[in-house]
Amino acid sequence: MADQEDIRNNEIVHEIKGMIRIYKDGSVERFMGCEFVPPSIDPQTGVQSKDVVISPENAISARLYIPKSQPHPSTQKSKLPLLIYFHGGAFCIETPFSPMYHNYLNSLVSAANIVAISVNYRRAPENPLPAAFEDSWESVKWAVSAEDEWVKNFADLKRVFFAGDSAGGNIAYRMGIRVGLEGLSFGAKLMGVIIVQPYFGGEVAIGSEAANPNMENLKKLWRIACPTVRSLDDPMINPSMDPNIGKMGCERVLVCAAEKECLNERVWCFYEELKRSNWKGKAAIVETAGEDHIFHLYNPTGHNALALMKLLVSFINESI
């Protein structure tokens, strides 16, 4: 009887092949983004990284990055923009410590000459939404408090940026709204938000979504991430339904789309909704032709990935 009970408890209740498997007893197997790369001085860029604990109670942590050449701590004018980055993975997989994200942040910090904080928020299904949003907001508040010596010595808190891809793009958007609603302490200022191929959705298919076989997996992932709110029209996943979309707490937003990804039309829809809202800032969108979802992470040295990197650097340094 005990063996039969174990078998029943270990039935698979959710599975996205090659990504995540969830069992009836609550155990989880992840098949992507599980490898841990320690912080280091990157031999290619000279970027230095370290790990910090933000909230031991909620197991929130982050990886911090500073470029090879740091400003003198006593010189405010030479301090660097601060980028707070939110990783992707459908709220279920990946961490800032995986090779893909660690290597990308090394490259971005070097190219843009910035200080960066890559947030390790709690993931579903163990911690369903809104845990990732609350953890990210706590991380933002921790960052601008300048409790960490790297942030205190090298970051200009009047030049704060948010960025994220996929689920992290969703988080970056919501953190921008949170700043608009609640503001930032310690005189910090959010200058811009970079939203890269965000994980958004909606109950009613738009464009080619109805015919795309990948949409079913996206719906399953939403049920995993937020089992208590299954509707894809909840503002957490569908910003078109967000009454606060016009309250972005920054002056500029850059939206990055990829032509071949299944959510491309949804990304464009978000951009148009943001422009139609009562937000007074400046929004821009750039679509990369011929590329799929998070292509820049899978092939970071490709021509299109390097072009996207250049775009992000220009945005942070206010060239666009």
Q: Whole-angstrom Cα distance, residue 215 to residue 221? A: 10
CB atoms within 10 A of CB 130: 16
Q: Tokens representing 156?
A: 């200009």
Q: Whole-angstrom Cα distance, residue 93 to residue 89? A: 5
Domain boundaries, the chain: 1-31, 41-316
pTM score: 0.95
Q: Whole-angstrom Cα distance, residue 104 to residue 31? A: 20
Q: Whole-angstrom Cα distance, residue 188 to residue 172? A: 17
Q: Tokens representing 128?
A: 């369903």
Q: Which H/E stretch holds residue 143? A: helix 131-144
Q: Tokens representing 286?
A: 């750039």
Per-residue confidence of the chain (320 residues) as pLDDT tens digits?
Answer: 445 445 446 899 999 999 999 999 999 999 999 999 999 999 999 999 999 999 999 999 999 999 998 877 766 778 999 999 999 999 999 999 999 999 999 999 999 999 999 999 999 999 999 999 999 999 999 999 999 999 999 999 999 999 999 999 999 999 999 999 999 999 999 999 999 999 999 999 999 999 999 899 999 999 999 999 989 999 999 999 999 999 999 999 999 999 999 999 999 999 999 999 999 999 999 999 999 999 999 999 999 999 999 999 999 998 65
Domain 41-316 -> CATH class: alpha beta
Backbone torsions φ then ψ of 253, nearest 5 degrees:
-135, 135
Look up residue 283 and give its DSSP letter: E
For the chain, the distance separating the N- and C-terminal CA atoms, rounded to the nearest angstrom, is 66
